[in-house]
């Protein structure tokens, strides 16, 4: 068994591991990364964010082709299969892996492919994918092993018609009807993808509203547009059992309903990848979802061991995971790149896309903050009309006395990009974070960003 010494060993090469490794290396520390896959990128690149976003993009293009009259000159609307659109996603994954592999090489970070576990708090054993066993001795360790779909014991995931958000990427046909169990972000995004391919989707929600953390108006808009795409949303439902058939599945709900479909996609919860880490050898405990508790410096209960990304739970986003990993490494290197990440924007790649930052109307009302609303509807905006993207709205919530921007909520074309303008303004100090910026600044025309100017004037018009 070969033994290697490092300042920092990072477990996992998803966004959290990458952010940690890059920052530690740039701080002059000797760094190794271990990942049990055969390529870097983590579940984010191989199973989560990247494939789902690439699938969505292809589906949006197909929808544009099928609905824009311009394209009728070159052909009638046509449907593409799930495996067809998956091929384009696979190309993106390969490009991402190539870029990320280059980052590790440029920063002289050693990468080991194998499963890591703690022998003690400074010693990691790696069972490599080629069968060899390596020993890595580290002053500090950052756990960034991510998460996987939660699989309850009473659901048979070995049945060929029962999928989760990992195994759905091995689907070799396009179902006519699909049940998606769980209407969180992942379930709602896959509902958009499959309904865009012409699949009849039943979206089963355990709650009474879709994505209840969103501003209610935006959540209502999502429900409306999913229904418009033929998604049947069933609120307040819970499964009793899932019956596998030779040619499909029957979902038995506690409410007594039975739903039959060609396949079922389980999107109900995730669990931290901690079970193979040997945490019992170092005294780190996990909660019922396999997640590790950390302090505001991303330090676990063992002083030289940090954790970041999905393995610590909320917000379980690639965006936040990268910064958490970077912060953990910044803390180890004792420089100013450390920060606690609690101001995360929401980016949801349903069709239409959704993004938000700051307070919702419901939160402001509960807190008795006197706010006002300014809106811009995309259907009236030149850039949206040129792009044939009339669905959407930008809503700015601002304090009616100080004009401070308190929240930005957006759905429709480019929503996840547009929101960052509002985020930048909200992060300013004094007068710079008020609605005045949007009316006193010349925006490119035509742009989607212009929605801020339109919404700001709309909001100011409501004041008296
Ligand atoms: C379908 C889907 C869509 C998503 N869309 C978005 C989105 O649009 N935007 C967004 O911000 N987030 C999105 N997410 C969430 C995002 O993918 C995760 O938040 C992100 O991947 C977390 O990064 P991470 O670095 O913590 O872990 P991961 O990306 O999960 O990577 C962890 C790595 O550690 C490895 N590992 C695990 N155990 C061990 C071990 N014992 N030894 C060695 N290696 C190990 C794993 O194999 C994996 O490669 C999505 C997730 C899913 C499932």
* CATH for 455: 3.30.390.30
Q: Please choose from 9, 10, 14 the residue to mutate so as to test ligand 1's pocket, defined by most ligand atoms within 8 A of CB.
A: 14
Instruction: For residue 204, list its beta bridge partners.
Output: 181, 234
Ligand 1 centroid to Cα of residue 202, in Å, is 26
Please indicate, yes or no, whether residues 206 and 244 belong to a single structural domain of this protein. yes
Ligand 1 centroid to Cα of residue 277, in Å, is 16
Please indicate, yes or no, whether residues 98 and 38 belong to a single structural domain of this protein. yes
Looking from the CA of residue 44, the nearest atom of ligand 1 is 21
Give pLDDT tens digits along the chain (464 positions). Answer: 788 999 999 999 999 999 999 999 999 999 999 999 999 999 999 999 999 999 999 999 999 999 999 999 999 999 899 999 999 999 999 999 999 999 999 999 999 999 999 999 999 999 998 889 999 999 999 999 999 999 999 999 999 999 999 999 999 999 999 999 999 999 999 999 999 999 999 999 999 999 999 999 999 999 999 999 999 999 999 999 999 999 999 999 999 999 999 999 999 999 999 999 999 999 999 999 999 999 999 999 999 999 999 999 999 999 999 999 999 999 999 887 788 999 899 999 999 999 999 999 999 999 999 999 999 999 999 999 999 999 999 999 999 999 999 999 999 999 999 999 999 999 999 889 999 999 999 999 999 999 999 999 999 999 98
Ligand 1 centroid to Cα of residue 163, in Å, is 18
Q: Which helix (H) or strand (E) holds 393?
A: strand 392-399
Please indicate, yes or no, whether residues 6 and 41 belong to a single structural domain of this protein. yes
C-beta of residue 274 within 8 angstroms of C-beta of residue 145: yes
**Ligand 1 atom 38: residue of nearest CA:** 145
Please indicate, yes or no, whether residues 26 and 137 belong to a single structural domain of this protein. yes
Looking from the CA of residue 42, the nearest atom of ligand 1 is 49
Long-range CB pairs of 87-94 (<8 Å, 24+ gap) are 88/54, 88/57, 88/58, 89/50, 89/51, 89/54, 89/55, 89/58, 89/169, 90/51, 92/50, 92/51, 92/54, 93/41, 93/45, 93/46, 93/50, 93/51, 93/54
Please indicate, yes or no, whether residues 299 and 252 belong to a single structural domain of this protein. no
Looking from the CA of residue 324, the nearest atom of ligand 1 is 26
Whether 342 is in a domain gets the answer no
Ligand 1 centroid to Cα of residue 173, in Å, is 26
Q: Note the pLDDT tens digit of each residue in 121-167.
A: 999 999 998 889 999 999 999 999 999 999 999 999 999 999 999 99
Please indicate, yes or no, whether residues 128 and 210 belong to a single structural domain of this protein. no
Identify which of 361, 456, 356, 375 has the alpha carbon closest to the alpha carbon of residue 416: 356
Ligand 1 centroid to Cα of residue 432, in Å, is 36
Whether 346 is in a domain gets the answer no
**401 φ, ψ to 5°?**
-95, -50
**Ligand 1 atom 37: residue of nearest CA:** 145
Pocket residues: Cβ below 6 A from ligand 1: 11-17, 34-37, 42-44, 48-49, 52-53, 115-116, 144-147, 165, 186, 273, 276-277, 309-311, 316-319, 321, 347, 349
Whether 344 is in a domain gets the answer no
**Ligand 1 atom 53: residue of nearest CA:** 48
Domain count, the chain: 3
Please indicate, yes or no, whether residues 9 and 142 belong to a single structural domain of this protein. yes
pTM: 0.97
Residue 38 CA: distances (Å) to CA of 46, 369, 393, 433: 11, 52, 43, 46
Ligand 1 centroid to Cα of residue 303, in Å, is 24
Please indicate, yes or no, whether residues 444 and 383 belong to a single structural domain of this protein. yes
**Which range of residues forms the domain containing residue 205?**
162-268
Ligand 1 centroid to Cα of residue 107, in Å, is 22
Ligand 1 centroid to Cα of residue 318, in Å, is 7
């Amino acid at each position: 068994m070969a033994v290697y010494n490092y300042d920092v060993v990072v477990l996992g090469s998803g966004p959290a591991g990458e952010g940690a490794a890059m920052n530690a290396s740039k701080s002059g520390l000797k760094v190794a990364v271990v990942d049990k896959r055969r390529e870097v990128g983590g579940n984010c690149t191989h199973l989560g964010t990247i494939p789902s976003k690439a699938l969505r993009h292809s589906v949006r293009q197909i929808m544009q082709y099928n609905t824009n009259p311009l394209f009728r000159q070159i052909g009638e609307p046509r449907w593409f299969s799930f495996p067809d659109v998956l091929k384009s996603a696979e190309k993106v994954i390969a490009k991402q892996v190539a870029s990320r592999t280059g980052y590790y090489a440029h920063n002289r970070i050693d990468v080991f492919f194998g499963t890591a576990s703690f022998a003690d708090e400074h010693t990691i054993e790696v069972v490599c994918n080629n069968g060899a066993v390596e020993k890595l001795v580290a002053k500090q360790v950052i756990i960034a092993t991510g998460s996987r779909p939660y699989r309850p014991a009473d659901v048979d995931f070995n049945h060929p018609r029962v999928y989760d958000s990992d195994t759905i990427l091995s689907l070799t046909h396009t179902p006519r009807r699909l049940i998606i169990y769980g209407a969180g972000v992942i379930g709602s995004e896959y509902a958009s993808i499959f309904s865009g391919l012409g699949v009849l989707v039943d979206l089963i929600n355990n709650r009474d509203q879709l994505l209840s953390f969103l501003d209610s108006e935006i959540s209502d808009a999502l429900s409306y547009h999913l229904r418009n795409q033929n998604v049947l949303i069933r609120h307040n439902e819970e499964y009793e059992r899932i019956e596998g058939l030779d040619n499909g599945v029957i979902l038995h709900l506690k409410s007594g309903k039975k739903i039959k479909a060609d396949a079922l996609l389980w999107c109900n919860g995730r669990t931290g990848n901690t079970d193979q880490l040997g945490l019992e050898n170092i005294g780190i405990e996990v909660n019922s979802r396999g997640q590790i508790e950390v302090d505001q410096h991303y330090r676990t209960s063992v002083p030289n061991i940090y954790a970041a990304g999905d393995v610590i739970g909320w917000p379980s986003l690639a965006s936040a995971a990268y910064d958490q990993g970077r912060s953990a490494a910044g803390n180890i290197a004792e420089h100013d790149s450390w920060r606690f990440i609690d101001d995360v924007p929401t980016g949801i790649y349903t069709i239409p896309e959704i993004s938000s930052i700051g307070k919702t109307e419901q939160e402001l009302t509960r807190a008795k903050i006197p706010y006002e609303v300014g809106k811009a509807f995309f259907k009236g905006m030149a850039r949206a009309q040129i792009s044939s993207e009339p669905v959407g709205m930008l809503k700015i919530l601002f304090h009616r006395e100080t004009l401070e921007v308190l929240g930005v909520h957006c759905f429709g074309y480019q929503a996840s990009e547009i929101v960052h303008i509002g985020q930048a303004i909200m992060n300013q100090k004094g007068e710079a974070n008020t609605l005045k910026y949007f009316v006193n600044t010349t925006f490119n025309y035509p742009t989607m960003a212009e929605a801020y100017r339109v919404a700001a004037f709309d909001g100011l018009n409501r004041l008296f």
